[in-house]
């Protein structure tokens, strides 16, 4: 089965469940990637600004831990916004390998990075990182692999899937490698809910754009006007639950199947888990990593963590 057919089968399977769901990876066509970039600039979306602040403050220490001639492999690189500070400070990088599912956006970002850092080999990989994929062999032999996973994208995976993804990263890091990861922290629910219900309505557009993506690329016939964005923080589960709520009883078709939606029925599009430091360390340990260093901001909103293979 090719990538497109297995994606379509995955979407149909999610809509066939009693509680309908679509994976958040389908947010990211070109427009979805642009809308995500707009989210990162929103005043309510504390994650990006806070993470960049932590990176700037601690990049010398990070560079020391990483050492010379590493290969930097970034999962879900998007516009590689936070990576620039690393590319400026890491010592004689062997290569930078951004991996992302959003093909046009990745290739344009990689080209831009290559022009800003001509001395570094930039080798983009278009792939769904939840499925097996090959990494390129850089011209300079890396001394170690550093997997970089910023943005708290790990939070978009349910706990078992997050642990499985950490295991994949553990394999990529090999025994002498490390994982540098951004992890959003549990905090006052009001701060979290505001980040996913911004007053400019960009997160709503991002959520609804998934339906347009499925119409354009997978032959669906969703009417995006028939849905509303919904995001609530579930404190017990420590996660934001992001959904699209049908505003009328209607039907949608995709992949030769027709699905009935009730007025008020939800399609789950994303979870965004928030961790405690202890909770994340316990999960990382199960995946074969030990947390060597944690950096946070003064308000303890967000963390950047350096995990070594055990
Ligand atoms: N790392 C950036 C972007 C985060 S947005 C930052 O911190 O700002 C999440 C990114 O992961 C998007 O660029 C999206 O296209 C990518 N992504 C999401 N699911 C993916 C998957 N399964 N495989 C590959 N890339 C994925
Ligand atoms: C990519 N990911 C970490 C974002 C998040 O905060 O969970 C995606 C997002 N969804 C809505 N706003 C941002």
168 CB less than 6 Å from ligand 1?
Answer: no
Nearest CA owner, ligand 1 atom 20? 25
Tokens for 92, please give them: 């004689």
Atom 1 of ligand 2, nearest CA residue: 153
Closest residue (by CA) to atom 5 of ligand 1? Answer: 78
Residue appearing with tokens 């994929």: 133
Please tell me if the CB atom of residue 207 comes closer than 6 angstroms to any atom of ligand 2.
no
Residue 203: which of 28, 77, 23, 42 has the closest Cα? 42
- Ligand 1 centre to CA of 79 (Å) is 9
SS3 26: helix
Residue 185: count other Cβ atoms within 10 Å of its Cβ. Answer: 21
Q: Which atom of ligand 2 is nearest to 195's Cα?
A: 12
Ligand 1 centre and the CA of 249: distance in Å?
Answer: 33
Q: Taking a C-beta distance cutoff of 8 angstroms, is the pair 98, 124 a contact? A: yes
76 lines ligand 1 (CB under 6 A): yes
Atom of ligand 1 nearest to the CA of 102: 15
Ligand 2 contact, 46 CB (< 6 A): no
DSSP state of 39: H
- Of 308, 270, 265, 264, whose CA–CA distance to 289 is shortest? 308
Shortest-distance atom of ligand 2 to CA 47 = 6
Partner residues linked to 110 by β-bridges? none
246 lines ligand 2 (CB under 6 A): no
Q: What is the pLDDT of residue 132?
A: 86
Nearest CA to ligand 2 atom 7: 272
Ligand 2 within 6 A of CB of 100: no
The helix/strand/coil state of 118 is coil
Query: Using an 8 Å Cβ cutoff, are 16 and 257 in contact?
Result: yes
CB-ligand 2 contact for 155 (6 Å cutoff): yes
Measured CA to CA, the distance from residue 266 to residue 228 in angstroms comes to 9
pTM of the model: 0.98
Q: Is residue 83 in contact with ligand 1, taking CB distance under 6 Å?
A: no
Locate the ligand 1 atom nearest the alpha carbon of residue 78 and give its number.
13
Nearest to 79 by CA among 118, 48, 46: 48
pLDDT tens for each residue of the chain, 310 residues long: 789 999 999 999 999 999 999 999 999 999 999 999 999 999 999 999 999 999 999 999 999 999 999 999 999 999 999 999 999 999 999 999 999 999 999 999 999 999 999 999 999 999 999 988 999 999 999 999 999 999 999 999 999 999 999 999 999 999 999 999 999 999 999 999 999 999 999 999 999 999 999 999 999 999 999 999 999 999 999 999 999 999 999 999 999 999 999 999 999 999 999 999 999 999 999 999 999 999 999 999 999 999 999 9
The ligand 1 atom nearest the CA atom of 36: 5
Q: What is the pLDDT of residue 103?
A: 97
- For residue 69, the CA-to-ligand 1 centroid distance in Å is 25
Instruction: State the pLDDT at residue 56.
Output: 98
């Amino acid at each position: 089965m090719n990538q497109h057919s297995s994606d379509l089968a995955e979407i149909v399977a999610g809509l066939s469940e009693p509680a309908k769901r679509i994976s958040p990876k389908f947010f990211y066509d070109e427009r979805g990637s642009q809308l995500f970039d707009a989210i990162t600039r929103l005043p309510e979306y504390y994650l990006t600004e806070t993470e960049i602040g932590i990176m700037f403050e601690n990049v010398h220490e990070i560079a020391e831990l990483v050492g010379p001639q590493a290969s930097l492999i970034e999962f879900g690189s998007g516009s590689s916004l936070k990576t620039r500070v690393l590319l400026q400070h890491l010592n004689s990088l062997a290569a930078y390998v951004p991996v992302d599912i959003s093909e046009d956006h990745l290739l344009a970002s990689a080209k831009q990075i290559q022009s800003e850092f001509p001395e570094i080999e930039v080798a983009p990989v278009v792939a769904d990182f939840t499925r097996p994929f090959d990494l390129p062999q850089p011209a300079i032999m890396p001394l170690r692999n550093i997997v970089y996973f910023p943005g708290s994208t790990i939070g978009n995976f349910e706990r078992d899937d997050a642990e499985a993804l950490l295991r994949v990263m553990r394999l990529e890091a090999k025994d002498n490698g490390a994982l540098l990861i951004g992890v959003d922290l549990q905090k006052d629910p009001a701060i979290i809910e505001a980040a996913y219900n911004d007053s400019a309505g960009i997160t709503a557009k991002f959520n609804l754009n998934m339906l347009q993506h499925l119409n354009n690329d997978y032959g669906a016939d969703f009417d995006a006007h028939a849905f509303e964005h919904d995001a609530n923080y579930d404190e017990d589960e420590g996660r934001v639950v992001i959904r699209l709520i049908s505003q009328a009883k209607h039907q949608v078709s995709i992949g030769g199947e027709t699905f009935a939606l009730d007025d008020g029925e939800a399609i789950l599009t994303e979870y965004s888990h928030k961790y405690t430091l202890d909770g994340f360390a316990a999960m990382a340990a199960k995946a074969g990593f030990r947390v060597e260093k944690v950096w946070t901001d003064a308000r303890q909103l967000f963390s950047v963590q350096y995990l070594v293979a055990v």
